[in-house]
Amino acid sequence: MDPVAFQIGNIVIRWYGIFYVLGFLFAYWVTPLLARNISKKDMQDFFLYLIPFSIMGGRLAYVILNWSYYSENLFQILFIWNGGMAFHGGLIGAVLAALYYCKKKNIHFYDLADVLVIPLAIGLALGRLGNYINGELYGKVTNFPWGASFEGVEGLRHPTQIYESLKNLLIFFVVLRAYKLKKFRRGFVFWLFIFMYSFFRFFIEFLKDVELYSGLTYGQWISLPLGVISLYMLNKLK
């Protein structure tokens, strides 16, 4: 599938960018409907902080991880529509934006975090579809019947982007259900999201064709401490 959705003059619109915009629009629409103890206006105004912080965090982390390429192609750092966002960097950016906004508006952090992770799961599912169309973050060679071919890549590969997209959809339904039950303490849904994301990603990483650091991928090294911390917090908040 062509990564370019359409072109208007010299302006190229890629599916990757469209999916990210759809993710933010979905979050902007659904969070005021779900939020508790936060006014609709405050919830919507938060996106003025969330969008730039999460994009900058995600892009910065991705550039650092791929510095060998970007050090020789500095202008490409700005071309986020071509793909290249790291979830953990985006999460850090989003958390920093939330901490600042909550302090400014006197909002409990977990009231904001618990509702944000619900559309975040959908946004991540859409983002992985963008990775698939871009032909990036693919898996190792496989002879499974659903193996996918990517331009310029030898052999059929595990479509790990699709695995992750389905994983994020599952997380969405679980955290939404937990949130609607209204029987958990503040922060439980947020840490449930962190735990599920870290747990599933750790195992999917084994199928990815990415660089290893002391036997594990970058994603696995980050997922391990996050998984342990989130499990501790879930036990504390149960």
- Asked if 58 contacts 85 with a C-beta cutoff of 8 angstroms, the reply is yes
pLDDT of residue 74: 79
CA distance 27 to 38: 15
> In the prediction, which pLDDT does 176 show?
97
pLDDT score, position 214: 92
Residue 123: which residues within 8 A CB-CB, separation 6 or more?
20, 23, 24, 26, 27
10-residue stretch averages of pLDDT, the chain, 238 residues long: 82 86 95 94 96 90 81 76 77 95 96 97 94 92 95 94 97 97 93 97 95 91 96 92
Q: Return the pLDDT at 4.
A: 84
Q: What is the pTM of this model?
A: 0.91
Boundaries of domain holding 57: 4-189
Nearest to 80 by CA among 112, 48, 110, 54: 54
**Within-domain flag for 159:** yes
C-beta atoms surrounding 69 within 10 Å: 11
Q: For residues 139 and 156, what is the distance between their CA atoms, to the nearest angstrom?
A: 9
Instruction: Report the C-alpha gap between 227 and 223 in whole angstroms.
Output: 6
- Which stretch of DSSP H or E encloses residue 89? helix 87-105
> Based on the structure, what is the number of domains in the chain?
1
Residue 129 placed within a domain: yes
Q: Does residue 197 fall inside a structural domain?
A: no
Predicted pLDDT at 28: 96
Q: Classify residue 203: in a domain, yes or no.
A: no
Round to whole Å and give the CA distance between 168 and 165: 5
Please provide the size of the chain in residues: 238
Distance CA 87, CA 128 (A): 11
Instruction: State how far the Cα of 136 lies from the Cα of 161, in Å rounded to an integer.
Output: 8
State CA 20 to chain mean position distance: 10
CA distance 222 to 237: 22
User: CB of 35 within 8 A of CB of 43?
Assistant: yes
8 Å CB contact between 153 and 167 = no
Q: Looking at residue 83, what is its pLDDT?
A: 63
Q: Residue 82: its pLDDT value, please?
A: 65
Q: Please answer whether residues 160 and 147 qualify as being in contact, where contact means their C-beta atoms are separated by less than 8 angstroms.
A: no
Residue 219 is encoded by which pair of tokens?
């994603």
* CB proximity list for 81: less than 8 A, separation 6 or greater: 12, 13, 14, 16, 17
